[in-house]
Amino acid sequence: MSEQTETAEARPNEAQEKYWNEQAGPKWVALGEILDAQLEPIQERLFEAAGLSRGERVLDVGCGCGASSVAAAERVGPEGEVLGLDLSEPMLARARERAAGRAGLRFERGDAQVRDLPAHHYDTVLSRFGVMFFADPVAAFANLATALRPQGRLVFACWQPLSQNPWMSIPLQGALQHLPAPEVPPPGAPGPFSLGDSERLRRILGDAGFSHLELEDQSGEITLGGSLTLDEAVDFALDLGPVGAMMRQAADAGPDLRGRVRESVRAALAPHERSAGGVALEAAWRIVRARP
């Protein structure tokens, strides 16, 4: 399939494309191993739900640096097929490095909301936290539904609301002691928690043509950044997520402000440092399964 197969319409996710190519993407590439280690326990739950088999065809939406696509390729084997699709060229470049020499695995740049996907081709549309950023989620999921075979399934992981995710809200509370609160986006606006409302998510998937919906709310501790020390975890929190965005907006304030923010975030995270190493906080995510 050519990489020039999106519709000729204006790019509906242009702001996300810019963000993931110019800001977030390079950071995810630099911190890829740390992020993969943090998400590995949830990824295992995702693949348990997906139940991939040898020889299956898989579309990995928002594949990022390719960890989930590589894991899918291992499960479907060389006789299967995995396409990783993402907007971020820096992340895709890293994904292609990881896929070198692996049969049946390839990566393409594209927007799943408007991509011209092969009809009834895939057994599974999969995503590890890659489907929360669409400007029009109904249109995006409807487009993905057309790519599934009649007995195919959609399986993805998304975050529950921010209020149920201390791994992100606790560093944010520390930073807010020194930084102005970010503007609250409209409900459902593209972002990591846009699918946190389960009833809204059910409406989106139903309107997109999916049925047999299964939403399984899960929670547990995740180790911030994998197995980072407390000070490393603080730096990690200051680089990514809402705190990272706030720090970038306050970049002209100078190093003194960063130092004060860092100390407050460190104080917020310190009670969660494990004696055996790592900073463990509660996280809440959702595993979703559906059929067209």
Whether the per-residue pLDDT at 22 is higher than 50: the answer is yes
Say what the pLDDT of residue 8 is: 42
Let me know if residue 263 belongs to a domain: no
The CATH number assigned to the domain holding 38 equals: 3.40.50.150
Its pTM surpasses 0.75? yes
For residue 51, give the amino acid letter.
Answer: G
- The answer as to whether 79 is a domain residue is yes
The model's pLDDT over 52-66, given as tens digits with 9 standing for 90+, comes to 999 999 999 999 999
For residue 133, pLDDT over 90 is answered with: yes
Pull the structure tokens for residue 180: 């102005």
Look up the domain containing 19 and give its range.
Answer: 14-165+184-225+283-291
Helix (H) or strand (E) holding 154: strand 148-159
In a domain, 265, yes or no: no
Residue 245 lies in a domain: no
Q: Mean of the pLDDT values across residues 125-138?
A: 97
Query: What is the pLDDT, as a whole number, of residue 115?
Result: 95
pLDDT at residue 205 is higher than 90: yes
| Listed range (209-213, 217-221, 254-258, 263-267) with the worst mean pLDDT | 254-258
260 lies in some domain: no
Q: Distance of CA 7 to CAs 10, 22, 87, 111, 114, Å? A: 8, 23, 15, 10, 6
pLDDT for the residue 9: 53
Average pLDDT over residues 245-254: 75
Provide the total of helices (H) and of strands (E) in the chain, helices listed first.
Answer: 11, 7
Strands 148-159 and 280-291: antiparallel
Question: What is the arithmetic mean of pLDDT over 91-106?
Answer: 94
Total structural domains within the chain: 1
In a domain, 88, yes or no: yes
Let me know if residue 190 belongs to a domain.
Answer: yes
- Residue 267 lies inside a defined structural domain of this protein: no
Task: Give the range among 2-11, 85-94, 211-220, 276-285 with minimum mean pLDDT.
Answer: 2-11
| Amino acid in position 139 | A
